[in-house]
């Protein structure tokens, strides 16, 4: 493998020298690296980032993409800071913290999966969310997307958020296993994780996907780039945004296409479960880029109500959300009326 890499590198240097002698700049660019926080293709619409690569959408838009997989948003931020990637799909609140505290100059350019299809699951004994007062609730980490959004859901559904005992467990599959193993009373994860569980006999879906999203219509994750990348690699950013919109539209209009792609990417998941998910996700695809400015405003205002944000500079979406890349894609593709209003 090292010999192959050396051969490619040497060939690239040779082309650069020849181009320099001819007075022409070399056209080959380094792969555009997208950092994603899933170690395998996720069972949610965010899978479009991975599938757009597998199915050639990026290449058809002139971008050579390399996916960099890390376990969670903090790792993704660290990778983006250190230059290990050019774009990262991360939690919106984490990106907002970085911008508000002047720690990184970021631009939010698209949200391939703006509203994660979360549910709240509990032990079978609980049949009403109000019964979770004083009970343990598994989260990824304090301050994570699932923690913040679930607190909003609790408040909207009549539960004082601080009356619940939050337990740091980790990633969604780990939280699910902790619930099945009776180590927590309830937790939050995606409908995809729910369906992937082999045994659900001792657990209950307390809040379904629609009720959860209706209670907290957040933009939870988005793709960000640094100001430098937005300027220096603008064409590639534009191509990636357009590619994910195209893939999202294909999956929205033809759910079977998503099922077939996921069968190849996740052979461990039953086709029947994937077909169920495809039906549930029909209104979740970011067919217009996923950056609804009205929804981003609501998300921002809600985030700032949390005590963690006391004293943090208020940053409005217009300061760091760059709709220009999505708008260029929509100028070429047209605005879809399927779902995903632009809010602008």
Whose CA is closest to 337, among 270, 297, 299, 288? 288
Q: For residue 339, what pLDDT is reported? A: 86
Q: For residue 35, what pLDDT is reported? A: 98
Q: For residue 92, what pLDDT is reported? A: 92
Q: Which residues pair with 91 in a beta bridge?
A: 221
Q: Please give the average per-residue pLDDT across 54-80, as a whole number.
A: 96
Q: For residue 72, what pLDDT is reported? A: 86
Residue 338 and residue 243: Cα distance in Å, rounded?
17
**Tokens matching residue 279:** 């039906």
State percent of the chain over pLDDT 70: 92
Residue 204 and residue 221: Cα distance in Å, rounded?
27
Q: For residue 19, what pLDDT is reported? A: 37
Pairing outcome for strands 118-123 and 186-190: antiparallel
Q: Please give the average per-residue pLDDT across 157-162, as a whole number.
A: 96
pLDDT band at 26 (very low <50, low <70, confident <90, very high): very low
Check: CB of residue 172 under 8 Å from CB of residue 193: yes
* Region of poorest pLDDT, from 14-23, 33-42, 245-254: 14-23
Q: Please give the average per-residue pLDDT across 130-150, as a whole number.
A: 92
Q: Residue 16 above 90 pLDDT?
A: no
Q: For residue 302, what pLDDT is reported? A: 85
pLDDT band at 17 (very low <50, low <70, confident <90, very high): very low
Q: Residue 264 above 50 pLDDT?
A: yes
Q: For residue 28, what pLDDT is reported? A: 52
Q: Please give the average per-residue pLDDT across 23-46, as a whole number.
A: 79
pTM of the model: 0.78
Burial of 35 from C-beta contacts in 10 A (0-12 / 13-18 / 19+) = buried
Q: Which residues pair with 167 in a beta bridge?
A: 138
**Tokens matching residue 53:** 């690569």
Q: Please give the average per-residue pLDDT across 139-147, as a whole number.
A: 87
Over its C-alpha atoms, the chain yields an Rg (Å, rounded) of: 21
Check: CB of residue 67 under 8 Å from CB of residue 34: yes
Q: Residue 71 above 50 pLDDT?
A: yes
SS3 185: coil
Measured over the CA atoms of residue 199, residue 204, residue 210 and residue 213, the dihedral's sign is negative
Residue 205 and residue 317: Cα distance in Å, rounded?
34
Tens-digit pLDDT profile for residues 313-335: 999 999 999 999 999 999 999 99
Q: Please give the average per-residue pLDDT across 64-71, as a whole number.
A: 96
Residue spans of beta strands (DSSP E) within the chain: 32-36, 65-69, 87-91, 106-110, 118-123, 136-139, 165-168, 186-190, 203-207, 221-226
Q: Residue 25 above 60 pLDDT?
A: no
Q: For residue 10, what pLDDT is reported? A: 35
Residue 52 and residue 152: Cα distance in Å, rounded?
32
Q: Residue 145 above 90 pLDDT?
A: no
Residue 57 and residue 331: Cα distance in Å, rounded?
18
Q: For residue 114, what pLDDT is reported? A: 81
């Amino acid at each position: 493998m090292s010999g192959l890499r050396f051969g490619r590198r040497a060939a690239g240097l040779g082309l650069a020298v020849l181009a320099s002698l001819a007075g022409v700049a070399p056209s080959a660019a380094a792969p555009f690296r997208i950092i994603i926080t899933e170690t395998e293709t996720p069972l949610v619409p965010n899978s479009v980032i991975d599938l757009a690569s597998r199915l050639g959408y990026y290449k058809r838009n002139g971008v050579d993409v390399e996916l960099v997989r890390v376990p969670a948003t903090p790792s993704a931020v660290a990778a983006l800071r250190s230059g290990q990637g050019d774009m990262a799909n991360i939690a919106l609140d984490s990106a907002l913290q970085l911008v508000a505290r002047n720690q990184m100059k970021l631009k939010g350019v698209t949200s391939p999966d703006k509203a994660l299809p979360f549910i709240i699951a509990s032990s079978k004994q609980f049949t009403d969310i109000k019964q979770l007062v004083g009970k343990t609730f598994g989260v990824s980490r304090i301050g994570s997307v699932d923690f913040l959004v679930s607190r909003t859901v609790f408040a909207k559904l009549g539960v004082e958020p601080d009356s619940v005992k939050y337990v740091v467990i980790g990633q969604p599959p780990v939280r699910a296993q902790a619930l099945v193993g009776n180590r927590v009373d309830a937790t939050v994860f995606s409908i995809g994780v729910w369906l992937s569980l082999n045994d659900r006999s001792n657990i209950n879906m307390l809040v379904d996907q629609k009720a959860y999203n209706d209670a907290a219509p957040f933009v939870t994750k988005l793709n960000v780039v640094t100001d430098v990348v937005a300027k220096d690699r603008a064409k590639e950013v534009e191509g990636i945004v357009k590619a994910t919109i195209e893939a999202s539209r294909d999956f929205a209009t033809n759910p079977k296409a998503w099922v077939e792609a996921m069968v190849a990417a996740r052979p461990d998941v039953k086709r029947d479960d994937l077909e169920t998910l495809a039906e549930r996700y029909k209104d979740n695809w970011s067919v217009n880029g996923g950056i609804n400015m009205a929804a981003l405003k609501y998300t921002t205002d809600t985030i700032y109500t949390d005590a963690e944000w006391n004293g943090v500079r208020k940053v409005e979406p217009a300061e760091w959300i760059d709709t220009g890349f999505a708008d260029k894609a929509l100028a070429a593709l047209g605005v879809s009326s399927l779902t995903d209003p632009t809010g602008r």
